[in-house]
Chains A and B, each alone.
Chain A
């Protein structure tokens, strides 16, 4: 494939990128009602991260990976929507 053609291709095609599993988004919009971890904590897959109040439930969000909590982007009581990164694990 020539370079020019592949450049053009990019306009039409969204190249599949695996999203970073360390960025934690809410599964549904809701309110963050509490954090179980804090910045700098080491977590393993399955550890509880924070509580997301949504769908009539205090949902406990679990860590999908092993790592360290690098950043927490929201405050307790804050409303979050689908595209908000709540916390970052590295």
Chain B
């Protein structure tokens, strides 16, 4: 054969493989409102940057007449490309090929691209759209899952791992996304569960639809498994591109810098956002937007445990991770879910050299039987652990309430925050004035002629004496009491000063956080 003929032969082979499950299966995929695996990859990556590998891999199934079947690429597409010029490894399961089921070679392909990502030290994106294990391949399919989970764990904290759920992701398959750093879901398309509605009905007699059991909304709002919720695949891809711009390629690098921009001070004025009445709620995201570049803030896990806000923004062009109590929701308390959510975020930022800015306004940990029995002690401890462990620059701004254990947990001076700033409106005390006055002045209140009046007087007395930032400042627990409109200036300066921060922890294999 001449070179021309050989090239023609290659092209023909490629065409066969590129068709995936064939035009009928593709039509079916499109009818459910989903894109094909290859279309998805091309939409996420920069135009013309996708390079595919292992397109001629064939499956390894021998039993049940599988050896007579041809599964193009064994149901998964792997390769490399760029997003906004950043290098990426990527794989996408192809539902049109045997339902995207995971067989031995399918898993091998995924492992191979993950190994590449680890060696090249670039992020990996995995698009999940699979019916689960390929039953015909038996234990080899299970081995495949195990190999992937192991690699997910090895890569954790070394390269950012992003999972995109664009179809079913059931059974063992769910644990790979769960081990990665960010999970993206799309309304009505994503479905994640360990056991589906059928099994649940047979075993437990409970009836529930796929959507109510493990749809995108369930995971974005209730379970917290998903971090980003989108209404369409295209919106989801835009979110990925946005996120990637804020995080570094690996744990040895810092995120890319952008040209500094001023906040949109006309839209976000602290004076008008922040209420004068300390009991009045406000949206803490507006306060964040009032101090960050171009007032752009990318919120993570927006719908889950919204009493705490986490996300990325830039200050003076550099990425910063924000953790902030949200008085707008459940008074901004710390509870099981919000502690868990914030702790994981803090650990991600610490792994990937992203400085942390914490904004504090919380009445404390949420009391109650539900919370105690759900393990608020062990979940709450995660946040203390994560902040204490973190060695990236840590800057804390106390806006208003900082009471009790909540004060300590929200990156206080005692957990080795590098800088703690407080607004003059800050109230830093062991507990709220009402509770404290009732305990300290118990006998005075009980013995008074008018106990109610006495209580009121004592609460007021306590408020005036302790509900301010100056007691904490007197002990040096607050580095500076600042005017609210000086916040950006102070935080920018602290980040600049803290850029070369070096802090060491005792040598150990790893700690034992209260998982």
Interface residues of A (CB under 8 A from B): 1, 6, 9, 13, 15-16, 18, 27-29, 53-60, 82
- Given that A6-B205, A28-B330, A28-B366 are contacting pairs, would A58 and B212 also be in contact in the complex, using a CB cutoff of 8 Å? no
B363 x A55 contact (CB < 8 A): yes
Q: Does B281 contact A (CB under 8 A)?
A: yes
B432 x A57 contact (CB < 8 A): no
Closest to B277 in A: A58
Interface centre among A9, A13, A55, A58 (most CB of B within 10 A): A55
Residues on A with beta carbons closer than 8 Å to the beta carbon of B279? 53, 56-58
Which chain B residues numbered 103 to 145 have a C-beta less than 8 Å away from chain A? none
How many Cβ-Cβ contacts under 8 Å join chain A to chain B?
53
Give the docked Cα–Cα distance between A64 and B2 (Å): 69
Give the docked Cα–Cα distance between A54 and B330 (Å): 9
* Among B208, B331, B370, contact of A59 (Cβ-Cβ < 8 Å): B331
A59 x B330 contact (CB < 8 A): yes
Which chain B residues numbered 320 to 374 have a C-beta less than 8 Å away from chain A? 327-328, 330-333, 363-364, 366-368, 370
B205 x A57 contact (CB < 8 A): no
Give the docked Cα–Cα distance between A60 and B329 (Å): 8
Residues on B with beta carbons closer than 8 Å to the beta carbon of A15? 205-206
A56 x B331 contact (CB < 8 A): yes
Closest to A57 in B: B331
Interface residues of B (CB under 8 A from A): 204-206, 208, 212, 277-281, 327-328, 330-333, 363-364, 366-368, 370, 401, 403, 432, 434
List 17 interface pairs A-B (beta carbons < 8 Å), by A numbering. A13-B204, A13-B205, A16-B206, A27-B330, A28-B331, A28-B368, A55-B330, A55-B333, A55-B364, A56-B278, A56-B331, A56-B432, A57-B279, A57-B327, A57-B331, A58-B277, A59-B281
B331 x A9 contact (CB < 8 A): no
Residues on A with beta carbons closer than 8 Å to the beta carbon of B370? 82
- Given that A27-B330, A55-B331 are contacting pairs, would A60 and B281 also be in contact in the complex, using a CB cutoff of 8 Å? yes
- A1-B205, A58-B279 given. 17 additional CB < 8 A pairs? A6-B205, A15-B205, A16-B208, A28-B367, A53-B279, A54-B331, A55-B333, A55-B363, A55-B364, A55-B366, A56-B331, A56-B363, A57-B279, A57-B280, A59-B331, A60-B281, A82-B368
Closest to A30 in B: B331
Residues on A with beta carbons closer than 8 Å to the beta carbon of B327? 57
B281 x A9 contact (CB < 8 A): no
Give the docked Cα–Cα distance between A27 and B17 (Å): 55
Give the docked Cα–Cα distance between A68 and B57 (Å): 58
10 smallest CB-CB distances across A and B, nearest first, come from: A55-B331, A57-B331, A55-B363, A56-B363, A16-B206, A58-B279, A56-B432, A27-B330, A57-B279, A59-B331
Query: Would you give the shortest CB distance from A79 to chain B, in whole angstroms?
Result: 15
Query: Would you give the shortest CB distance from A10 to chain B, in whole angstroms?
Result: 8
Give the docked Cα–Cα distance between A64 and B233 (Å): 25
* Among A28, A29, A58, contact of B281 (Cβ-Cβ < 8 Å): A58
A18 x B366 contact (CB < 8 A): no
Residues on B with beta carbons closer than 8 Å to the beta carbon of A82? 368, 370
Give the docked Cα–Cα distance between A15 and B368 (Å): 25
Closest to B361 in A: A57
Query: Would you give the shortest CB distance from A90 to chain B, in whole angstroms?
Result: 20
Residues on A with beta carbons closer than 8 Å to the beta carbon of B281? 57-60
Give the docked Cα–Cα distance between A58 and B330 (Å): 10
Query: Would you give the shortest CB distance from A64 to chain B, in whole angstroms?
Result: 10
Residues on A with beta carbons closer than 8 Å to the beta carbon of B278? 56
Query: Would you give the shortest CB distance from A11 to chain B, in whole angstroms?
Result: 12
Interface centre among A1, A28, A29 (most CB of B within 10 A): A28
Residues on A with beta carbons closer than 8 Å to the beta carbon of B280? 57-58
Closest to B206 in A: A16
Query: Would you give the shortest CB distance from B477 to chain A, in whole angstroms?
Result: 21
Residues on B with beta carbons closer than 8 Å to the beta carbon of A1? 205
Give the docked Cα–Cα distance between A70 and B295 (Å): 41
Give the docked Cα–Cα distance between A9 and B363 (Å): 44
Query: Would you give the shortest CB distance from B440 to chain A, in whole angstroms?
Result: 17
Interface centre among B328, B331, B333 (most CB of A within 10 A): B331
Give the docked Cα–Cα distance between A60 and B331 (Å): 9
Residues on B with beta carbons closer than 8 Å to the beta carbon of A18? 208, 212
Closest to A56 in B: B363
Query: Would you give the shortest CB distance from B368 to chain A, in whole angstroms?
Result: 7
Residues on A with beta carbons closer than 8 Å to the beta carbon of B212? 18
Give the docked Cα–Cα distance between A54 and B278 (Å): 13
